[in-house]
C-alpha cells in the first residue's frame, strides 16, 4: 500500500510531543502518521526494523538559498564550483553538479540523503517569483515554499510613510497570492533601496533617500502588518549593517523594535497533528543567520564575537526566535538580497561578484567565498555560529542553519551537528584554527554538548513550529505528514567524543521516509516522491484591495514588465498547497 | 619497474577522455585487466583495448609503474590526470588536459600537446619537448588558483594564458609565449626564454615572472625597481641583464609580483 509503513522499535525523538528517545513504533497510513495499523494493513505495509537507530521527524530547513535568480547567478558565475563535484545520472535520478550551489536536482537529492524533507527558499524577489517557482518545481524530494522580499518595496515604503496601513496590508496579501509565496522577508530595511544610489543606511533612525522611511519604520510596520494579517510565520528579518564589525548592537536594537508587537497567527484551514507542546509560534520576529549579524569590535583589526550581546537579549525575551548561520569552513557562495553588503565584501576580497537592482522591489548580490581555518576573522565566525546555538539556553529559540550557501553549503550540516554535540569535536577544530577563534570568542570555554533531542529541536521541530508548519511537519504526532528520518545512531551507546560517527550518520540517513514512502536509503535515492509547494493565501477586505490595485496599476508604467505578466500562476507550482488565512482586514 | 605499453590502434574520430590512464589505475593490474578499463568517447564508454593494444603489466604500486604510449594521441584527453606517482612517457603528441591536477610522478611528452596541460597541477613533473597550446598550468574557468606546485617544462613554444592564476610551482618555457602570460598570477615562477606578445603579468599579485626575449606591448601597471644580472632560482638559470619591475599596480594595486625583463632585448623599456 502506497504511503503505508511501520517503523519498529526505533529510539524516537519527537520534541513537539516531548518524546526523547523512547523506544516505540511509528505507523504511517496513506502518507499520514496514525496510531496503529490493522493486521491486514500491516501485512501489506513495508516494515522497517529501526532497533538501535535514531528516529526523528523529517528535517526542516527554514532558511536556505536553493532556488531562484540569485542562486542561478551563483551557478553561472562559478563553473569552478561544478566540475569537481558531480553525480552521474541513474535510472531514477538526474545527473547534477555543483558544490556550494548545486543544480536543483542535485540539491533535492542531497537534502534527502541527510533526512531532510522540507526546505524553504529564504528570499524570493517578487519579479523573480516565476523563475524561483520553476526551480522549486524541478527540485525533487522536498516540500518547499519561499519568503517574499518586501523590506525595500516601493509600495510598502510609500504606504508606511503615508501611514496607510490598510492599503499596506492589502498589498502584502495580494503580493503573497500573486507570487505564491509563504511569508514576509525583510532584508537590510531601507538600506537596499539606497544601494540604487551607491549608498546604504547605518543606523535604525536614518531615513533613506526619496522615501524617507527608516529601518525602524519598516521593521515595526512589517511586524505589525504580519500580525494584522495573521501569517503563520513571524517577520523574517535580515538586519541592517550585516557583515560589518560592531553590527551586533544594531541587530539587538532591531530586535527591540517589535517587542511590543504581539504574535497573533490566525488559524489557517489545516488539520493539526497531535502535539503536547503548543505548536504555534509566540514570536513576532525571526532573526535569520544571526552569526553574520553578531560581529563585535569596531574594525577588522579588533574584530570579535558579539554573539553574547544578542543571545543575552534572546534568552530574556519571548518575542524572538533565530537561526544561526553557522560557518563550517571551506568553499561557500555568498548570496543575499543585501546588495550593499556584497559590494563591501567585493571591496574586501577583490573576488568576482554580481549585483542586481530588482526594479522598485529589492536588490541582491552574489560572490564566491572561501572560509579558511587559518584566517583570523573566518575562524572567529566559525566559533560565533556555534555560540549562537550553544548560548541560547532554550533550544526552542534557535534553529540550525548555515544560511546555505552563505556560511557554507547545507551538505555540511552533519559537521555542524557534530560540533554542537561534541565538545571534543570543537576543541579539535579550535586547535587547527587561527588563535583568534579562542581569543576573540567565548566558544573555547563553552562545554555544553547538545543532546539528540536538542538537535531534533534545532533541525526540525523548531524550524517547523517557527514557520507555522507544525500542523504537519517537524513532528511525528498523529495526523502529521509521514516524513521520517532514521539515523544509524544508537542513543544508548552514543559516544559523542567519536564525532566522526555522528557526521557519518547524519550525512547519509539510514532511511529517509517521505509521505510514508522510503525515498532514500543509506545515501542512495530509491524513489522520487510527490512534492508540495506551500504558499499563503490571505483574503482581505475587497474594497481596500481594489483601491490598492489602482495604485499598483498606475505605477506599473514604470515597470519593464506588464501588469498581466506579473503574477505567477499556480501551474508554476508543484502540487500547490495554499495555506488559507482569512485576515478580516 | 614494470612497463605498460599502449599502442594506439583504434578509431579516434571523436576525442577520447582517458583520465584512467595513470600509473595509479594501472598498478597491480595485468595487461588484460588494464584493457578492460573504460574510457569515454562522446556519450559512450568503451574499454581501453578498443583504442590501444596493451602490452605488459602494471607494477605493484603506482611508483613502480611506467606507462609508455607508443604513438600520437592528439585525440586523447586527460592523460595522467590526477596521477600521484610513477611515470608516463608519450612517444608522440597528446590532447587536452594532459597531466591536469597531477599530484606527483612524471609525464614526458615527446611531441606537442593541446591546451590545458598541467591545469591546476599540485606536484610532479610535466615535460613537453614540443609546443603547447593555451592555459599551461593555469586555473580552470572561473577558478582563482592555477597550479600550486610541481614543474612544467616546455621546450618549444606555449600559447595564451601560461600560468593563469598560478599560485605555486614552476613553469619553464624554452621558446615564445602568446598573450596573457602569468595573468592573475599570485605565486610560483614562470621563466620564458623567448618572446611574449602583450599583457604579461596582468593583474599579478605575487610570484616571479621572467621574460628572456622581447615584449611587444608592455603591461602599463608595472614600475621598475632595479636592474639585476644572471638570475638564478634554484636550478633554473636566466643569464644576462634584467630590468626588475613590481606590479601589477593597475587593478589589484598590490605590486607584490616581480617581473624580470631582459634588458638587452627590451632597450626601449
Q: Which residue has 592555477 as its cell numbers?
A: B146
Confidence of residue A401 (pLDDT cuts 50, 70, 90): very high
Q: What is the mean pLDDT of residues B152-172?
A: 98
Q: With beta carbons under 8 A apart, name residues in chain B contacting A76.
A: none
Beta bridge partners of residue A362, listed in sequence order: A358
The pLDDT assigned to A583 comes to 87
Among residues A336, A331, A417, A366, the alpha carbon closest in space to that of A98 is found at A331
The pLDDT assigned to A1 comes to 66
State the CB neighbour count (10 A cutoff) for residue A497: 13
How many angstroms separate the CA of residue A75 from the nearest CA in chain B? Answer: 11
**Running DSSP on this structure, what letter comes out for residue A280?**
S
Q: What is the mean pLDDT of residues B135-139?
A: 97
What is the Cα gyration radius of chain B? 20
Q: What is the mean pLDDT of residues A534-557?
A: 94
Neighbouring residues of B268: CB distance < 8 A, sequence distance ≥ 6: none
Give the H/E segment covering residue A146.
Answer: strand A143-149
Rounded to whole angstroms, how far apart are CA atoms A410 and A110?
Answer: 9
The pLDDT assigned to B253 comes to 84
Q: Is the pLDDT of residue A584 over 90?
A: no
Nearest CB partner across the interface for A79, out of B141, B144, B252: B141
Cα dihedral value B83, B89, B91, B97, nearest 10: 20
Q: Residue A186 region, left (φ>0) first, then alpha (ψ -120 to 50), else beta?
A: beta
Q: What is the DSSP string of A342-376?
A: HHHHHHHH----EEEEETTTEEEEEEEEEE-TTSH
Rounded to whole angstroms, how far apart are CA atoms A104 and A95?
Answer: 10
Q: With beta carbons under 8 A apart, name residues in chain A contacting B141.
A: 79-80
Q: Is the pLDDT of residue A273 over 70?
A: yes
Q: Using the beta-carbon criterion (under 8 Å), do A79 and B144 form an inter-chain contact?
A: no
Q: Which residue has 632560482 as its cell numbers?
A: B233
State the CB neighbour count (10 A cutoff) for residue A116: 29
Q: With beta carbons under 8 A apart, name residues in chain B contacting A74.
A: none
Q: With beta carbons under 8 A apart, name residues in chain B contacting A348.
A: none
Q: Using the beta-carbon criterion (under 8 Å), do A83 and B140 form an inter-chain contact?
A: yes
Nearest CB partner across the interface for A78, out of B139, B142, B252: B142
Q: Read off the pLDDT of residues A439-495 as tens digits, 9 standing for 90 and up.
A: 999 999 999 999 999 999 999 999 999 999 999 999 999 999 999 999 999 999 999
Residue A364, C-alpha cell as written in the block: 541582491
Angle at B98 between CA B93 and CA B99, to 5 degrees: 135
Under DSSP, is residue A212 helix (H, G, I), strand (E, B) or coil?
coil
Q: Which residue has 568576482 as its cell numbers?
A: A352
The pLDDT assigned to A200 comes to 95
Q: Which residue has 535568480 as its cell numbers?
A: A69
Under DSSP, is residue A44 helix (H, G, I), strand (E, B) or coil?
helix
Q: Read off the pLDDT of residues B25-62 as tens digits, 9 standing for 90 and up.
A: 999 999 999 999 999 999 999 999 999 999 999 999 99
Rounded to whole angstroms, how far apart are CA atoms A566 and A178?
Answer: 8
How many angstroms separate the CA of residue A347 from the nearest CA in chain B? Answer: 11
Residue length, chain B? 269
Under DSSP, is residue A403 helix (H, G, I), strand (E, B) or coil?
coil
Nearest chain B alpha carbon to A79? B142
Q: Using the beta-carbon criterion (under 8 Å), do B140 and A79 form an inter-chain contact?
A: yes
Nearest chain A alpha carbon to B253? A350
Task: Count the alpha carbons within 13 Å of A154 in the hemisphere toward its beta carbon.
Answer: 14
Q: What is the DSSP string of chain B?
A: -EEEEEEE-S--SS-EE-TT-SHHHHTT--HHHHHH-EEEETTEEEEGGGTEEEES---SSGGGEEEEE-S-BTTEE-TTTT--SSEEEESS-B-TTTTTT--SSEEEESS-B-S-TTTT--SSEEEESS-B-S-TT-PPTT-S----SSEEEESS-B-S-TTTT--SSEEEESS-B-S-TTTT-EEEEEEESS-EEE-TTTT--EEEEEE-S-EEE--TT-EEEEEEEEEEETTEEEEEEEEEEEE--SSS----EEEEEETTT-TT-
Rounded to whole angstroms, how far apart are CA atoms A196 and B215?
Answer: 43
Q: Read off the pLDDT of residues A181-227 as tens digits, 9 standing for 90 and up.
A: 999 999 999 999 999 899 999 999 999 999 999 999 999 999 999 99
Q: How far is CA A23 from the centre of its chain?
A: 30
Residue B5, C-alpha cell as written in the block: 605499453
Rounded to whole angstroms, how far apart are CA atoms A481 and A563?
Answer: 38
Q: What is the mean pLDDT of residues A19-27?
A: 97
Q: Using the beta-carbon criterion (under 8 Å), do A351 and B141 form an inter-chain contact?
A: no
Percent of all residues in chain A with a pLDDT value above 70, rounded to a whole number: 100
The chain A residues in contact with chain B (CB within 8 A) are 77-81, 83, 350-352, 368
Give the H/E segment covering residue A521.
Answer: strand A517-521
Q: With beta carbons under 8 A apart, name residues in chain A contacting B116.
A: none
Write phi, then psi, for A148 (nearest 5 degrees).
-90, 130
Rounded to whole angstroms, how far apart are CA atoms A293 and A310?
Answer: 9
**Are residues A500 and A488 in contact, defined by beta-carbon separation less than 8 angstroms?**
no
Q: Using the beta-carbon criterion (under 8 Å), do B140 and A81 form an inter-chain contact?
A: no
Q: What is the mean pLDDT of residues B196-225?
A: 96
Nearest chain A alpha carbon to B143? A80
Q: Using the beta-carbon criterion (under 8 Å), do A77 and B143 form an inter-chain contact?
A: no
Residue B71, C-alpha cell as written in the block: 604513438
State the CB neighbour count (10 A cutoff) for residue A162: 10
Residue A98, C-alpha cell as written in the block: 555543483
Q: Is the pLDDT of residue A432 over 90?
A: yes
Confidence of residue A2 (pLDDT cuts 50, 70, 90): confident
Neighbouring residues of A40: CB distance < 8 A, sequence distance ≥ 6: none
Nearest chain B alpha carbon to A352? B142
Residue B200, C-alpha cell as written in the block: 604579461
Rounded to whole angstroms, how far apart are CA atoms A16 and B170?
Answer: 60
Among residues A34, A13, A33, A32, the alpha carbon closest in space to that of A22 is found at A13
Complex ipTM, two decimals? 0.85
**Running DSSP on this structure, what letter comes out for residue A337?**
S
Among residues A167, A169, A63, the alpha carbon closest in space to that of A122 is found at A63
**Running DSSP on this structure, what letter comes out for residue A93?**
S
Q: What is the mean pLDDT of residues B12-22?
A: 96
**Are residues A531 and A577 in contact, defined by beta-carbon separation less than 8 angstroms?**
no
Q: With beta carbons under 8 A apart, name residues in chain A contacting B143.
A: 79-80
The pLDDT assigned to A585 comes to 73
**Are residues B211 and B262 in contact, defined by beta-carbon separation less than 8 angstroms?**
yes
Q: Is the pLDDT of residue B23 over 80?
A: yes
Nearest CB partner across the interface for B252, out of A350, A352, A368: A350
How many angstroms separate the CA of residue B150 from the nearest CA in chain A? Answer: 21
Rounded to whole angstroms, how far apart are CA atoms B149 and B152?
Answer: 10
Q: Using the beta-carbon criterion (under 8 Å), do B141 and A80 form an inter-chain contact?
A: yes
SS in 3 state form for A552-574? HHHHHHHCCCCHHHCCCCHHHCC
Q: Roughly how many angstroms between the first and final C-alpha of chain A, as a whole number?
A: 45
**Are residues B157 and B173 in contact, defined by beta-carbon separation less than 8 angstroms?**
yes
How many angstroms separate the CA of residue B240 from the nearest CA in chain A? Answer: 36
Q: With beta carbons under 8 A apart, name residues in chain B contacting A350.
A: 252
Q: With beta carbons under 8 A apart, name residues in chain A contacting B252.
A: 350
Q: Read off the pLDDT of residues B163-201 as tens digits, 9 standing for 90 and up.
A: 999 999 999 999 999 999 999 999 999 999 999 999 999
Residue A331, C-alpha cell as written in the block: 568553499
Task: Tell me the CA distances in angstroms from B160 to A9, A255, B195, one per residue in order.
Answer: 64, 55, 12
Q: How far is CA A55 from the centre of its chain?
A: 22
Q: Using the beta-carbon criterion (under 8 Å), do B142 and A350 form an inter-chain contact?
A: no
Q: What is the mean pLDDT of residues B211-227?
A: 96
Q: With beta carbons under 8 A apart, name residues in chain B contacting A354.
A: none
Beta bridge partners of residue B236, listed in sequence order: B233
How many angstroms separate the CA of residue A83 from the nearest CA in chain B? Answer: 9
Rounded to whole angstroms, how far apart are CA atoms B241 and B229?
Answer: 4
Among residues A394, A476, A464, A498, the alpha carbon closest in space to that of A11 is found at A476
Q: Which of B142, B144, B203 to mutate to test the interface with A (most CBs of A within 10 A)?
A: B142
Helix axes A307-316, A376-391, angle to 10 degrees: 10
Rounded to whole angstroms, how far apart are CA atoms A576 and A396?
Answer: 29
Exposure b/e, B112-138, CB count within 10 A at least 16 = b:
bbbbbbbbbbbbbbbbbbbbbbbbbbb
Under DSSP, is residue A333 helix (H, G, I), strand (E, B) or coil?
strand
The pLDDT assigned to B252 comes to 80
Nearest chain A alpha carbon to B252? A350
Confidence of residue B1 (pLDDT cuts 50, 70, 90): confident
Write phi, then psi, for A221 (nearest 5 degrees).
-60, -50
Q: Using the beta-carbon criterion (under 8 Å), do A80 and B143 form an inter-chain contact?
A: yes
Q: Read off the pLDDT of residues A48-89 as tens digits, 9 standing for 90 and up.
A: 999 999 999 999 999 999 999 999 999 999 999 999 899 999
Peptide bond into A13 cis (omega under 30): no
Q: What is the DSSP string of A456-512?
A: HIIIIIHHHHHTT-TTTSS--STTSB--EEEES--TTT--TT-HHHHHHHHHS-SEE
Q: Read off the pLDDT of residues B84-129 as tens digits, 9 standing for 90 and up.
A: 999 999 999 999 999 999 999 999 999 999 999 999 999 999 999 9
Amino acid at each position: 500500500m502506497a504511503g503505508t509503513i511501520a517503523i519498529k522499535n526505533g529510539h524516537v525523538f519527537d520534541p513537539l510531543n516531548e518524546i526523547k528517545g523512547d523506544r516505540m513504533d511509528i505507523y504511517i497510513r496513506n502518507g499520514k502518521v496514525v496510531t496503529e495499523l490493522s493486521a491486514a494493513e500491516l501485512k501489506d505495509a513495508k516494515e522497517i526494523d529501526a532497533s538501535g537507530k535514531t528516529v526523528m521527524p523529517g528535517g526542516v530547513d527554514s532558511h536556505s538559498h536553493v532556488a531562484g535568480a540569485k542562486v542561478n547567478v551563483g551557478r553561472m558565475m562559478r563553473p569552478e564550483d561544478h566540475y569537481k563535484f558531480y553525480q552521474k545520472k541513474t535510472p531514477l535520478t538526474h545527473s547534477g553538479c555543483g558544490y556550494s550551489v548545486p543544480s536543483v536536482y542535485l540539491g533535492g537529492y542531497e537534502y534527502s540523503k541527510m533526512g531532510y524533507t522540507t526546505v524553504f527558499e529564504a528570499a524570493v524577489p517578487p519579479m523573480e517569483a516565476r523563475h524561483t517557482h520553476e526551480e522549486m518545481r524541478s527540485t525533487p524530494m522536498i516540500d518547499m515554499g519561499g519568503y517574499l522580499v518586501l523590506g525595500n518595496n516601493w509600495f510598502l515604503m510609500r504606504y508606511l510613510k503615508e501611514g496607510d496601513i490598510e492599503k499596506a496590508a492589502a498589498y502584502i496579501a495580494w503580493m503573497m497570492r500573486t507570487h505564491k509565496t509563504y511569508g514576509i522577508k525583510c532584508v537590510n530595511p531601507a538600506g537596499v533601496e539606497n544601494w540604487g544610489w551607491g549608498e546604504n543606511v547605518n543606523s535604525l533612525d536614518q531615513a533613506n533617500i526619496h522615501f524617507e522611511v527608516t529601518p525602524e519604520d519598516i521593521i515595526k510596520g512589517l511586524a505589525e502588518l504580519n500580525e494584522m494579517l495573521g501569517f503563520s510565520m513571524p517577520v523574517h528579518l535580515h538586519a541592517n549593517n550585516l557583515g560589518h564589525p560592531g553590527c551586533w548592537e544594531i541587530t539587538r536594537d532591531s530586535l527591540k523594535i517589535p517587542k511590543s508587537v504581539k504574535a497573533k497567527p490566525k488559524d489557517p484551514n489545516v488539520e493539526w497533528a497531535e502535539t503536547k507542546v503548543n505548536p504555534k509560534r509566540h514570536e513576532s520576529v525571526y532573526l535569520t543567520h544571526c552569526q553574520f549579524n553578531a560581529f563585535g569590535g569596531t574594525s577588522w583589526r579588533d574584530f570579535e564575537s558579539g554573539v553574547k550581546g544578542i543571545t543575552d537579549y534572546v534568552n530574556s525575551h519571548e518575542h524572538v526566535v533565530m537561526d544561526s548561520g553557522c560557518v563550517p569552513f571551506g568553499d561557500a557562495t555568498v548570496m543575499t538580497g543585501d546588495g550593499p553588503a556584497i559590494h563591501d565584501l567585493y571591496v574586501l576580497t577583490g573576488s568576482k561578484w554580481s549585483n542586481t537592482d530588482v526594479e522598485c522591489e529589492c536588490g541582491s548580490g552574489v560572490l564566491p567565498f572561501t572560509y579558511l581555518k587559518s584566517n583570523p576573522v573566518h575562524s572567529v565566525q566559525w566559533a560565533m555560529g556555534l555560540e549562537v546555538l550553544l548560548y541560547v539556553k532554550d533550544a526552542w529559540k534557535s534553529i540550525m542553519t548555515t544560511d546555505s550557501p552563505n556560511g557554507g553549503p547545507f551538505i555540511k550540516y552533519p559537521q555542524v551537528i557534530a560540533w554542537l554535540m561534541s565538545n571534543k569535536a570543537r576543541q579539535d577544530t579550535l586547535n587547527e584554527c587561527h588563535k583568534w577563534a579562542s581569543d576573540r570568542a567565548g566558544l573555547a570555554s563553552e562545554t555544553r554538548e547538545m543532546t539528540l533531542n536538542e538537535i531534533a529541536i534545532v533541525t526540525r521541530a523548531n524550524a517547523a513550529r517557527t514557520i507555522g508548519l507544525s500542523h504537519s511537519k517537524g513532528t511525528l504526532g498523529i495526523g502529521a505528514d509521514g516524513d521520517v528520518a532514521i539515523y544509524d545512531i544508537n542513543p544508548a551507546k552514543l559516544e559523542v567524543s567519536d564525532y566522526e560517527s555522528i557526521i557519518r550518520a547524519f550525512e547519509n540517513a539510514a532511511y529517509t521516509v517521505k509521505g510514508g514512502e522510503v525515498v532514500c536509503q543509506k545515501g542512495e535515492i530509491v524513489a522520487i516522491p510527490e512534492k508540495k509547494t506551500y504558499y499563503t493565501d490571505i483574503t482581505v477586505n475587497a474594497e481596500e484591495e481594489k483601491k490598492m490595485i489602482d495604485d499598483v496599476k498606475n505605477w506599473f508604467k514604470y515597470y519593464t514588465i506588464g501588469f498581466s505578466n506579473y503574477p505567477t500562476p499556480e501551474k508554476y507550482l508543484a502540487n500547490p498547497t495554499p495555506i488559507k488565512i482569512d485576515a478580516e482586514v | 619497474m614494470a612497463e605498460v605499453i599502449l599502442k594506439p590502434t583504434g578509431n579516434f574520430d571523436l576525442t577520447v577522455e582517458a583520465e584512467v590512464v595513470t600509473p595509479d589505475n594501472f598498478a597491480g593490474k595485468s595487461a588484460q585487466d588494464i584493457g578492460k578499463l573504460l574510457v569515454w568517447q562522446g556519450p559512450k564508454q568503451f574499454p581501453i583495448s578498443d583504442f590501444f593494444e596493451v602490452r605488459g603489466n602494471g607494477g605493484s604500486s603506482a611508483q613502480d609503474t611506467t606507462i609508455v604510449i607508443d604513438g600520437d594521441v592528439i585525440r586523447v584527453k586527460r592523460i595522467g590526470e590526477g596521477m600521484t606517482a610513477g611515470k608516463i612517457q608519450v612517444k608522440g603528441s597528446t590532447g587536452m588536459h594532459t597531466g591536469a591536477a597531477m599530484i606527483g610522478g612524471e609525464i614526458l611528452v615527446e611531441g606537442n600537446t593541446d591546451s590545458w596541460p598541467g591545469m591546476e597541477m599540485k606536484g610532479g613533473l610535466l615535460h613537453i619537448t614540443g609546443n603547447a597550446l593555451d592555459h599551461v598550468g593555469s586555473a580552470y574557468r572561473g577558478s582563482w588558483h592555477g597550479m600550486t606546485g610541481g614543474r612544467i617544462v616546455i621546450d618549444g613554444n606555449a600559447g595564451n594564458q601560461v600560468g593563469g592564476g598560478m599560485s605555486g610551482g614552476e613553469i619553464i618555457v624554452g621558446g615564445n609565449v602568446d598573450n596573457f602570460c602569468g595573468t592573475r598570477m599570485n605565486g610560483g615562477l614562470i621563466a620564458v626564454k623567448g618572446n611574449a606578445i602583450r599583457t604579461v603579468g596582468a593583474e599579478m599579485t605575487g610570484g616571479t615572472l621572467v621574460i628572456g626575449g622581447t615584449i611587444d606591448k608592455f603591461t602599463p601597471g608595472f614600475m621598475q625597481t632595479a636592474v639585476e644580472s644572471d638570475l638564478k632560482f634554484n636550478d633554473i638559470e636566466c643569464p644576462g641583464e634584467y630590468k626588475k619591475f613590481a606590479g601589477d599596480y593597475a587593478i589589484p594595486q598590490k605590486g607584490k609580483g616581480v617581473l624580470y625583463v631582459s634588458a638587452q632585448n627590451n632597450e626601449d623599456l
